[in-house]
Amino acid sequence: MDLSLLRSTLEELGQPRFRFDQIWKWTAGGAAGYHEMSNLPAALRDELTARVPFSTLSELRRASSSDGTDKLLLQTADGRPIETVLMRYKDGRRSICVSSQSGCPLTCTFCATGQMKFGRNLTAWEILDQALALRRLDALDHCVFMGMGEPMMNLDNVLEVCRRLPDLGITNRRTGISTVGWVPGIDKLTESDVPVRLAWSLHAPEDALRSEIMPVNERYSLDEVKAACDRFYERRRKMIFVEYVMLGGVNDSVAQAKQLADLLEPWRYKINLIPYNPTDSMYDSSSQGAMEAFRQTLEDEGYNATIRLIRGRDIDAACGQLAAKAANPKLKQRVGV
């Protein structure tokens, strides 16, 4: 919902200020439309239906995984495709993975989104409407900006959404913003008033390899990104999550685990090892044995290191797989559209 348009429309209609709060409370609580808002006059509900679209996005396709994950393919008013994901866990968590851009301009070689044509930054309301669409499916309590796009390149809109997420049940301390290492965005987040968590998509322990698999490293080196992350830690005193996708024979050796341990500090960084999910790229996933040896090496060096549980791989909803494939006519058969 475009909350700016909602507010201006209510003012134009001469409605009292509390109407905005009433409507937002219904929307954040999972209402399916204005027709459910029983404490609004019927004439106002009809007027809003005609003048303020309940969502800035339209749903093109929904896929459900055998593990309880749901993925939505959404489209903006100007035809930009977006994917967003709801992950359900056995411990009761309901976590959403939200996109900040349609496509991504940074072309990491292992990521399906990087293979898309970049569209544009999403507006705050297009980002928020992803969360609202998922809220209509289930109660929510965690959010990661780890979907399509680089959130730090669209940080003002991302932070605007973060300020609204607590109304959906997602507190700031349960919200994380992931970056491949966009230093200006990290510094801007550090100085912001929104106390969310920071996650760094690292994926290689030294510059030469990182530049090979992540071209952004040519712009912001490991030392530059780490310095920005350290500034975040010094200001916020919040441990930083490191995401490290495990690519078989590329970045998964015990020696590379020791390099990673030497690069970081265990009191500042928690390391999350991510099994590589197929994206039609040149890579294979690390073996379970290699991942466990890597994790154990980090643990021996004093780190809290875990191997991420895979969610939604069978519907191309796992980490690195979001590519809005149904928006590409050549790929419709593959996704069953």
Residues serving a catalytic function are: 83, 319
Q: Which of 227, 195, 201 is nearest to 214 (CA)?
A: 201
Tokens of 202: 């690292």
C-alpha span between 284 and 243 (Å, rounded): 17
- Residues comprising the chain, all counted: 337
Q: Is 72 helix (H, G, I), strand (E, B) or coil?
A: strand
Residue with tokens 């072309």: 107
Please state the three-class secondary structure of 207-237 as a single string.
HHHHHHHCHHHHCCCHHHHHHHHHHHHHHHC
C-alpha span between 98 and 162 (Å, rounded): 11
Tokens of 256: 């590379």
Region of 203 please: left (phi>0), alpha (psi -120 to 50) or beta: left
C-alpha span between 37 and 32 (Å, rounded): 9
Q: Is 322 helix (H, G, I), strand (E, B) or coil?
A: coil
Written as one letter, the residue type at 209 is L
Q: How many CB atoms lie within 10 A of CB 286?
A: 25
C-alpha span between 285 and 153 (Å, rounded): 29
Q: Which of 279, 278, 280, 261 is nearest to 270 (CA)?
A: 261
C-alpha span between 55 and 49 (Å, rounded): 11
Segments in 118-172 forming alpha helices (H): 124-135, 155-164
